[in-house]
């Protein structure tokens, strides 16, 4: 592990004590998923809390650093830069079906944060003279998977990418001496914690009436998707990973730890208020309940 990575191994991303966002910091599971209105409140407050990137502190990277991160950051910047039209369309269909119209607003806030990540990374790349690209082969694969799917599969693919992004941006932050890029990575890491939770809670809602056997199959397929993606990104971005102090063993271990944490959040059985399992039939009447309720 290089000295920069060793130093950052001790860093913990904590919420700003001066902000009321501290109360939103995810720790243990909530008794039920947040409502979409509460998510909109969070995203709006997070936008106001946006901290400035220290561009004046430096964007210079040396030759070795450029070789390690240039092609890698290009690919992730392209992946962050999406208009999200298909996701917005599918979320609107879902919102009409369940009467959760604030969900579409929350999705638009989420897309806006991802686009901010892309803008910040793009500005750094231009300043550091790293060419931008519109898309990459991996980005095309992820986007095709989302476009061919309904909302649940689309969200499952997105959350897979966001969990891996948590590991990648940790490695990228520790791989660079550029103050601006390090700050960008820290902001993205903080945002992604909530993005993963937001997406996982929606998966729990979408799967709330699924029987245990079907849930086990669903989680099995999602684990396979994550396994393939974690392996692919770990191999493809090996120079950045290694420079950031991540051996493949560490990459794999940290990735699976974050996935297991996300899996618990997306499991509807963790939320008694969702009335998971099969719909209850009482006196010939079938009742369905899966939408989150206000506390």
CB 245 within 8 A of CB 251: no
CATH number of the domain that residue 121 is part of: 1.20.1260.10
Distance, CA of 159 to CA of 171 (rounded, Å): 19
Residue 112 in any domain: the answer is yes
| pLDDT by 10s per residue, the chain, length 295 | 554 544 444 443 334 433 434 444 554 566 789 999 999 999 999 988 877 888 888 788 999 999 999 999 999 998 888 778 889 999 999 999 999 999 999 999 999 999 999 999 999 999 999 999 876 766 676 667 666 678 999 999 999 999 999 999 999 999 999 999 999 999 999 999 999 999 999 999 999 999 999 999 999 999 999 999 999 999 999 999 999 999 999 999 999 999 999 999 999 999 987 753 333 332 333 333 334 444 3
Beta bridge partners of 282: 285
Residue 256 in any domain: the answer is yes
CB 169 within 8 A of CB 72: no
Residue 16 in any domain: the answer is no
Residue 8 in any domain: the answer is no
pLDDT at res. 211:
93
Residue 14 in any domain: the answer is no
Distance, CA of 239 to CA of 273 (rounded, Å): 45
- Global pTM? 0.83
pLDDT at res. 29:
62
Residue 235 in any domain: the answer is yes
> What string of DSSP letters covers 70-96?
HHHHHHHHHHH----HHHHHHHHHHHH
Range of the domain at 179: 33-50+58-268
pLDDT at res. 149:
72
Residue 22 in any domain: the answer is no
Burial classification of residue 59, based on how many CB atoms lie within 10 Å of its CB (0-12 exposed, 13-18 middle, 19 or more buried): buried
Write down the residue that tokens 């979408």 correspond to.
Answer: 206
User: If we measure between CA atoms, which residue out of 156, 70, 83 comes closest to residue 114?
Assistant: 83
Distance, CA of 226 to CA of 241 (rounded, Å): 18
Half-sphere exposure of 71 (CA within 13 A, CB side): 12
Q: What's the structural domain count of the chain? A: 1
Residue 274 in any domain: the answer is no
């Amino acid at each position: 592990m290089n000295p920069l990575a060793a130093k950052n191994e001790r860093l913990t991303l904590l919420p700003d004590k001066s902000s009321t966002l501290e109360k939103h910091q995810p720790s243990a599971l909530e008794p039920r998923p947040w409502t979409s209105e509460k998510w909109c409140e969070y995203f709006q407050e997070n936008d106001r809390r946006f901290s400035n990137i220290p561009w004046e502190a430096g964007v210079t990277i040396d030759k070795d650093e450029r070789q390690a991160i240039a092609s890698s950051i290009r690919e992730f910047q392209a992946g962050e830069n999406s208009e999200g039209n298909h996701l917005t369309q599918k979320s609107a269909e879902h919102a009409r079906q369940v009467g959760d119209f604030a969900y579409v607003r929350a999705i638009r806030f989420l897309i806006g944060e991802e686009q901010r990540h892309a803008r910040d990374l793009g500005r750094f790349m231009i300043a550091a003279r790293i060419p931008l690209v519109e898309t990459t082969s991996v980005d095309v694969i992820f986007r095709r998977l989302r476009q061919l799917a309904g909302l649940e599969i689309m969200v499952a693919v997105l959350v897979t990418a966001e969990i891996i992004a948590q590991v990648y941006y940790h490695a990228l932050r520790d791989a660079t001496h550029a103050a601006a890029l390090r700050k960008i990575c820290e902001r993205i890491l903080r945002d992604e914690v909530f993005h993963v939770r937001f997406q996982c809670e929606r998966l729990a809602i979408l799967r709330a009436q699924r029987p245990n056997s079907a849930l086990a199959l669903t989680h099995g397929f999602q684990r396979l998707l994550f396994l393939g993606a974690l392996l692919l990104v770990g191999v493809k971005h090996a120079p950045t990973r290694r420079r950031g102090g991540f051996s493949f063993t560490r990459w794999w271990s940290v990735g699976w730890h974050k996935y297991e944490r996300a899996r618990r959040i997306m499991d509807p059985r963790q939320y008694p208020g969702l009335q998971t399992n099969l719909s209850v039939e009482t006196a010939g009447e079938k009742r369905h309940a899966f939408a989150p309720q206000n506390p």
